[in-house]
Chains A and B, each alone.
Chain A
Amino acid sequence: MRFSVEAWNRKLHYYLGLYFLFFLWLFSLTGLLLNHPRWALAQTSFQRTETRYETPIELPRGETDLARAHDVMGQLNLRGEIDWPAAGQKPGRFEFNVSRPNDASTIEVDLVRKRAAVRHFDNHPWAAFRIFHTFSGSRYNAPAATRDWALTTVWTLSMDALAAGLVIMVLGSYYMWYRLKPKRRLGAAMLAAGFAACGSFLAALI
């Protein structure tokens, strides 16, 4: 069987599109929710219920703050991505936040009294849906924020894979279009219009 770039490029276009379909729908629909916070559905996606409790705790063990936070999370049966207070730790206290798309907790451990005060937030299912769009454990404008939960890394890799898949699909689609001689002229006009709209917009704003 002869290897044909054209045939394999077309297959790759279908296959990537089908594999990433659900990821693409999630990021498209959550993109709309993020861009329209005044929509009723988007308002629902900001709802969450709060519960507070205090509980005795063993002194957190570990060499690093991260290890100690994991120890506390194990005792409190919490999972998720850890976020540290911007101001740093106060003497006699150990504080951090832990979050997932469906819930988040603020934990304040009193190291002297050996008690943990927890504010726990359960997000509305639409909120969880929305948060998946931005759940990367990293913010480019917060250099101290790093990923520390394996599942955040998995989700971030999914986002990267989708982005890479889209780039491959777009570049492959240019090749497919170019091979269709009767479609070249109108296709070139549409592509030029797209680049002109995007490019001029970028140029005007930047």
Chain B
Amino acid sequence: MRFKGFYTWTRDLHLYLGLFVSPFILLFAASVFFLNHAKVAVDLATSEQTVQDVQIPGVGDGPQNMERVASAKKLLDQLRVTGEIGFVQYQRKERRLVIPVSKPGLETKITVDLDTRSASISRRTTGFWEALAYLHKMPGPHNAAIRGNWIGTRAWQWFADGTIYLILFITVSGLYLWFSLRAERRIGVMLLAAGAVSFIGAINAILR
């Protein structure tokens, strides 16, 4: 009786949590095809704008850190640009700041001339699939010290992590549910073994 209760609970959780996380799984799965096969001309801006008399924040040379990002954000507020700051680059020779800012559907590059106090804003709107691919890759491993400097990225990280933890739960509970079905055990073991052989074979071929 205790076994049946555990089985029923596991089956129900597998079903309901699976249904909840399924749109996120579809998002991550569908964007794989774009990430693996699409090509996009990223140097074609869809709009250019120049803003004069900007208040230059105190962003000098140095490592990427949140202090630097906080200063850059003051600039973004003036220019009404929102999104995740990729990095803040000070080009000493040209006396300018370069700040790429991105969010799903839009990539913005801000270039500030420190002498003329003018900012040029170059925007590129991305398509739906590129927006999905952006979410697939966010927050990602690059510039860890400043990643998550936009609330949208921080919120998305919760969803991305939650999707992974739920997938892990669903796979483990799925294994248990399958193993409880005696009639499916033999063919299931064969498929599990076939998957393991394909997986180890592919990895071994690449690494050897």
Contacts and interface: CB of A to CB of B under 8 A. Distances in A.
Interface of A: 11, 14-15, 17-26, 28-29, 31-35, 37-38, 42, 46, 100-102, 128, 130, 132, 135-136, 138, 140-141, 143, 151, 154-156, 158-160, 162-164, 166-167, 170, 173-174, 177, 180, 183, 186-187, 190-191, 193-195, 197-199, 201-202, 204-206
B86 interface: no
Contacts of A14: 174, 178, 181, 184, 188
Given A14-B188, A177-B15, A190-B20, A23 B199 contact: yes
Contact of B24 (A19, A187, A194): A194
A186 B19 CA distance: 10
B15 A38 contact: no
Nearest to B133: A140
Interface of B: 12, 15-30, 32-42, 103-105, 128, 130-131, 133, 135, 139-142, 144, 147, 152, 155-157, 159-161, 164, 167-168, 171, 174-175, 178, 181, 184, 187-188, 191-192, 194-196, 198-200, 202-203, 205-207
Given A25-B171, A177-B19, A190-B20, 5 more contacts: A21-B175, A140-B133, A143-B39, A158-B202, A205-B156
A154 to B, nearest CB: 6
Given A167-B26, A193-B20, A37 B147 contact: yes
A128 B207 contact: yes
Contacts of A199: 23
B195 A18 contact: yes
A23 B194 CA distance: 12
Nearest to B162: A197
